[in-house]
Amino acid sequence: MDTSLPTTKTQTVYLRPSALTDAPSHYCPGCTHGVAHRLIAEVLDEMEIREKAIGVAPVGCSVFAYNYFDTDFVEAAHGRAPAMATGIKRLLPDRIVFTYQGDGDLASIGMSEIMHAAGRGENITVIFINNAIYGMTGGQMAPTTLPGQKTTSSPRGRDVEQMGFPIHMAEVLAKMEGAGYVVRRSLHDPKNIRLAKKAIRTAFEAQVRGLGFSMVELLSSCPSNWAMTPADALKWIAEKMVPVYPLEDFKVAPTLAGLKF
Amino acid sequence: MARELLEGNYAMAEAAVRAGVEAYFGYPITPQTEILEWMSQRMPEVGRVFLQAESEVAAINMLYGAACTGARVMSSSSSPGVSLMMEGLSYIAGTELPVVLIDVVRGGPGLGNIAPSQGDYNQIVHGGGHGDYFPIVLAPASVQEAIDLTVLAFDLAEKYRSLAFVMADGSIGQMMEPAELPEMRPVRKERPDWAVTGAIGRERRILSSIYLNVEEEEKTNYRLLQRWYEVEKNEIRYREYYLDDAEFVVIGFGTAGRVALSAVRAARAEGVKVGLLRPITVSPFPAPQLSELARRVQAILVVEMNSGQMLDDVVRIVKGACPVEFYGRMGGVVPFPDEILHEIRRLTGEALSADGDPRQRWMQRFTPGSGR
């Protein structure tokens, strides 16, 4: 009887991008932060800019984003990442500076800093995670919370008469003359994840080309605070969030239009 | 360099340029806007970074980012603007970054006014931001000192990876007097080994003020405290006038100290053995010097342009070794030398007690708004 093992051939089909560290994730199961992190890391690898990249982490669930990227990183005060990124970029204009911010950070407490960074045409890249809720503090209403959406601080649902309307950051920032690239994408299925990666690549390409402020808003899931399974949370993005936050190119500098990756 | 007639604000700005400041971020606020204006012209001229921020909040956070790159950086503001910067200052202290901030103090609280004041003493010296940190605070009493202390602030900030304030007041910022600017220093090219510059051919670096692990935060607090004691040991600076044979001592910093010097000279002319201790570093405070004086003089008069914020520190240091009296003007009022001379005469002519509250005694004999 032949007892030898069958000959096997291994083939690498999937690798951790070199711009990601091997730190275990602290994010909740089903959260799309991990997907967003990976897409950024893949883009840094593909563009061979990992060593030149300097990230600015926000306050919120992604406060520890710097644990996962094998790049230089700083940790900003809540909402102030665009100002901090401005300081870095002005001193080191040949480095690739990006912020990673959630909706509370960017659209609430940091509204002034993001608006003026865009207005100045600050040559930085912003990855904006919109999951319509405050994650780290346990599920309070965000500026991007949908009308009627229940949160721990809008327990009867967001009443727009009392609590106002969702803020559409990509649309608002695209109006700025200083913005070179502003789009919204979603992370709810593989097709949209591929489109999100292309957008992130284009945003970093915009910075490399000195085209001014670039931002990719990413619709993201928060199963823990939405009180949903991960699968239901992804479905909720497609069914509830996308109609409110359309996945569009709001501003694309002409020289970026023809780029193919 | 020759002596020139210079306005304090321009002089501090140009001194920073010559000290090799690589970036300035600021926001207009009276009475220090000339610093911002000077920088807007000079910094691009010498190929360095100037940016007018959308707010003091943004300015201090731009400074925070810029300081992370290991560059020599600064901002300037005045009291209400500095209040807005407190968040960022706490983060900068927590991240152990060298940053220089000039505060040209004005009358307060609130919007207050734009007149010279020392009402920011507590906010600056005792830390208006959250958490345990200890800033270096330099208090100039002339345009020349404003120049010299601006240059020194950068060196101290970098030596101790610390916040260093130049706490001037509206009169130092706005007045003109002859002063000498330093030679232009070359901009420092090397970067410290903690600077975030992109991980090119090296391990990545992270700069942050977050220590979720409480033991690590406690160790950080302890390290900052240890470093502060180094600062206290090495960096106390003060000027003393007529103290050798003094029986009475006036203590005041900045403009209040300068006005007090005129009063001390007038009292000396009357034969009163009075001297002046003028702290230049109000933080670290010249506590050993004051303590020694308190043991050998008959009384101490504290003079400030606030309601006695430094007074509390003086009382704490003197520990009842001699009577302490207080004279203050507030809300943007600068005292005349005659007012202080009158107080010196009181010291020598009245029976004083080391007990009781000097601030309350002053309030009882003081009429707000008087003498104008």
Note the ipTM here.
0.96
Contact assessment for residue A75 and residue B207, using Cβ atoms and an 8 Å cutoff: yes
- Provide CATH 3.40.50.920 ranges for chain B: 240-365
Residue A95 forms contact with B (CB below 8 Å) = yes
Contact assessment for residue A74 and residue A56, using Cβ atoms and an 8 Å cutoff: yes
- Below-50 pLDDT ranges, chain B: none
Exposure string over B42-77, b if 16+ CB within 10 A, otherwise e: bbeeeebbbbbbbbbbbbbbbbbbbbbbbbbbbbbb
Give per-10-residue mean pLDDT for chain A (261 aa): 79 93 95 98 98 98 96 98 98 98 98 98 98 96 98 97 98 98 98 98 98 98 97 98 98 93 83
Q: Distance (Å) from the C-alpha of residue B113 to the closest C-alpha of chain A?
A: 26
pLDDT at B127: 82
Q: Distance (Å) from the C-alpha of residue B146 to the closest C-alpha of chain A?
A: 26
C-alpha B104: how far from chain center: 9
Residues, chain B:
372
Q: Cβ contact (<8 Å) for B55 and A74?
A: no
Q: Cβ contact (<8 Å) for B49 and A74?
A: no
User: Which of A135, A122, A249, A143 is CA-nearest to residue A196?
Assistant: A249
Minimum Cα–Cα distance from A65: chain B residue: B206
Residue B365 forms contact with A (CB below 8 Å) = no
C-alpha B225: how far from chain center: 20
pLDDT at A6: 79
Minimum Cα–Cα distance from B25: chain A residue: A87
Out of 3.30.590.20, 3.40.630.10, 3.30.70.980, 3.40.50.970, which CATH number does the structure's domain B3-234 have?
A: 3.40.50.970
Q: Cβ contact (<8 Å) for A70 and B64?
A: no
B-chain residues near A54 (CB < 8 A): 196-198
Place of tokens 């992804």: A234
Place of tokens 């400041």: B21
pLDDT at B171: 96
State the fold for domain A33-256.
Rossmann fold (3.40.50)
Query: What burial class does residue A93 get, using C-beta atoms within 10 Å of its C-beta: 0-12 exposed, 13-18 middle, 19+ buried?
Result: exposed
- Out of A53, A75, A115, the one facing B210 most closely (by C-beta) is A75
- Provide CATH 3.40.50.970 ranges for chain B: 3-234
Contact assessment for residue B207 and residue A74, using Cβ atoms and an 8 Å cutoff: yes
pLDDT at A237: 98
Residue A26 forms contact with B (CB below 8 Å) = no
pLDDT at A5: 78
- Out of B63, B197, B205, the one facing A87 most closely (by C-beta) is B63
CATH code of domain B240-365: 3.40.50.920
pTM of the model: 0.96
Indicate which of A22, A48, A74, A86 best probes the interface with B, i.e. most B CBs within 10 Å of its own CB. Answer: A74
